[in-house]
Structure formats: C-alpha cells, structure tokens
Amino acid sequence: MRILQVIKRFDFGGAENYVQELSSELASQGHDVTILGRRGRQCAMLSDKVTFIDAKFYFGAIACVFIIVRLVKRYNIDVIHAHQRMPILSASIASLLTGVPVVATIHGRVRYDLRSYISRKIPAYFIFVSHQVFMVSRYRNMLMSRSVVVPNGIKVVGPPHRLIPFSIGYMSRIDLKHAGLIGQLADVVPLLCAEFGRISLFIYGDGDEIESIRRKAEKINSDIGYNAIIVGGYVAEINAMDQYPELVVGVGRVAIEAAHKGCGVIPVNSRRMGKLLTLDNYQFYCDNNFVDIEAEPPTPQLLYNALAGYFRNREMYDNAAIARKIETDYDIVKIAETIVELYISTCDGVI
C-alpha cells in the first residue's frame, strides 16, 4: 500500500515515537510510506525506506491541506494516517477534496485532538491507544462504529539489558507539565539514600525546563555528597544503551518499553500515581495505556512509599514474566499488521 503519515512535529514524544516505529515497520513489510511533518530528531532513527517530507506546520491548517492534496496526487496515496489535532483536521479536509480515506490515531485527549466537527465526521477509523480515553469521550456514541483500540507497538530487540541496581529512570519531555513530577522525584532521592545507600535517579529527555532540573539536581547532589541525580538529556536510541535503570517511573510507551527490558515499572504521570506493575494488574494497565485511571495525583510521600516499597522487596518480583507478556502483546510487527488490516478495510469501504 501507499501510505501518507501526517504529524505536526517529528522530534521527541509519544506520538512521534509511534509514527517513527510504525512507519519504519510498515516500510520493512513492503509498503510505500511517506511522512509529512516538521523535521526533528526522529528522522535520524527512521528507516531509509521511508520518504520524509519536511513541512512548516506553523503556516496553518489550510496550507497543510494543499500540501497533503499535492502529496496524495504525487505519490498516488491509498490512505492517509493522521496524528495530533491540526494534522487530523488538515488530513480530513484533504480527504474530502481527494476522496482518499483518512485514519486518525488519538494520542491525547479526544476533546482536544478531535475538537473540530470535521475531524470527528470525516475519518474512516479512529485508533485509540487507550481504551479508557475512548470510553470517557463525550463523542463516544458518534465515534463508536468507527473506533478501535490498538496499543502502542515497540521494537522487540536483542538480549535483555543489564540493569543498574538501586537505580530509577524517568524519560519524557522536560517541559513545564512534566517538571513538577521530576522535581518531586528529585526531592525523594535524599530520603531513599538515607535508607538504601547510593540510590541513582537517571533523567532522560529534553525541553524548556531542563536547565532548572539540572540546577535542582546539582543542589541535591551537593547536599548528598555524590551524583545521585544524573540528567542525561536527550538520548536518540534508548534501546542502544547497554545498561538501564532497574526501576522506571512512567506511563504509555515508556512503561511498555521498560517492562520489556525487564525493569520494574511504576506507572506515574503528573496526574496519576499508579502502583507497581505486576502480573495481577497487567491487564488493567494494558487497557489504559499503562495509566492508573483510578489513582490520585502523585505526592513526594506517595512516590517515596512506592519506590522504597519496591527496593525493600526487589528480589521477589517476576519482571521476566512481564517482559515475556509485553513481547507477545506489543511487538510492533503484529501491531503494524493490525493497522494495515484497518487500512485495507478503509480502502475497500468496509467500516
């Protein structure tokens, strides 16, 4: 098939990682894939079989419509797959003009990504990475017949990573939204050091708040007397690291990839303080993109209790069994094949 992926930016984040992994896998399966988006660091990891078209989305949605229409004609595109609010709107209008069907993946909140009526009306399918995001949408009844839940896929790679004992990892954009949680994690480190000795917190990512996080880390490290908090910045290929934190705090793709590596995982974001991932709650987390939808917001005390609880009992957890389940359920090869089936149904007019 000839597939056009449309995304606003192609740098660092959940949607960007999704598009890079999916497009590279689709290309490896023999499909012709073109990506339209603003050039970013994901380009370095993209398969050389994928065509990338650099677009300046800040010119507005209407300009993007004409770019999409031109690419649809130039590459004889069979299906458009759009991600994020403005690309979904632009792709929907382009679909009206060209007759080429559009599929939209919802990575965030429905009320934002599908704010426009056109974005809700035109796409042939809506792919949700979280069952809960779909269930709580005010547009659920309108979208139900055209909606499917397909989780994030990950690349299944190589032997298990070597895990760094008594270490914690956090990976995300380091912007204002995430800086509060990172700051709470940093504040907990001295308490963990007092109980367990040389604890390490590795922070990976980039964003506007990284320098403020570096300053906070330097102050805490100075007080403790060693570099307990390491701000690693942006890492292009996490899977290439030969060592990895033993315990990872995160949701969505971060949680999935960490669990596949055999790490302990505590699903936490700025709004929800989850519990340690186990075989007993595995399906609950799968249904909700590894977010504890029933939990309260994190606090330093809750974070300390969860992290300390893990390290006190670190030998008893069967992380290897969870890693095997992740490999079965989230292999990008299978996820890509499922999405291709949606593309085919869309092109055949089967909704």
Q: Residue 27: in which H helix or E strand, if any?
A: helix 14-28
Say whether 101 sits in a helix, a strand or coil.
coil
Model confidence at 44, pLDDT cuts 50, 70, 90, reads confident
Say whether pLDDT at 22 is over 80.
yes
pTM exceeding 0.75: yes
pLDDT digits (tens, 9 = 90+) for 80-92: 999 999 999 999 9
Q: Which two tokens stand for residue 72?
A: 């649809």
pLDDT digits (tens, 9 = 90+) for 98-142: 999 999 999 878 888 899 999 999 999 999 988 888 887 888 889
Q: Residue 52: in which H helix or E strand, if any?
A: strand 51-54
Position 53: which residue type?
A: I
Q: What does the pLDDT read at residue 303?
A: 98
Say whether 46 sits in a helix, a strand or coil.
coil
Q: What does the pLDDT read at residue 14?
A: 80
Average pLDDT, rounded, for the chain:
91
CA 17 to centroid of chain Cα atoms: 6
Rounded Cα–Cα distance for residues 126 and 134 (Å): 10
Say whether pLDDT at 284 is over 80.
yes
- Per-residue pLDDT, averaged over 251-265, amounts to 93
Q: What does the pLDDT read at residue 188?
A: 97
Position 61: which residue type?
A: A
Say whether pLDDT at 171 is over 70.
yes
Give residue for tokens 């300053």. 215
Cβ-contact 4, 72 below 8 angstroms: yes
- Per-residue pLDDT, averaged over 19-37, amounts to 96
Rounded Cα–Cα distance for residues 307 and 248 (Å): 10
Q: What does the pLDDT read at residue 317?
A: 87
Q: What does the pLDDT read at residue 191?
A: 97
Say whether pLDDT at 350 is over 50.
no
Contacts of 79 (CB under 8 A, 6+ apart): 1, 2, 3, 4, 100, 101, 102, 103, 343, 346, 347
pLDDT digits (tens, 9 = 90+) for 260-269: 999 999 999 9
Q: What does the pLDDT read at residue 219?
A: 97
Rounded Cα–Cα distance for residues 97 and 81 (Å): 16
Q: What does the pLDDT read at residue 158?
A: 63
Spell out a b/e string for 120-149, using b for 16 or more CB atoms within 10 Å of the CB, else e: bebbbbbbbbbebbbeebebeeebeeebeb
Say whether pLDDT at 9 is over 90.
no
Q: What does the pLDDT read at residue 242?
A: 74
pLDDT digits (tens, 9 = 90+) for 135-165: 878 888 899 999 999 998 988 876 556 899 9
Q: What does the pLDDT read at residue 63?
A: 84
Q: What does the pLDDT read at residue 236?
A: 66
Say whether pLDDT at 239 is over 80.
no
Order of strands across the sheet that contains 79-83: 51-54, 32-38, 2-9, 79-83, 102-106, 125-128, 147-149
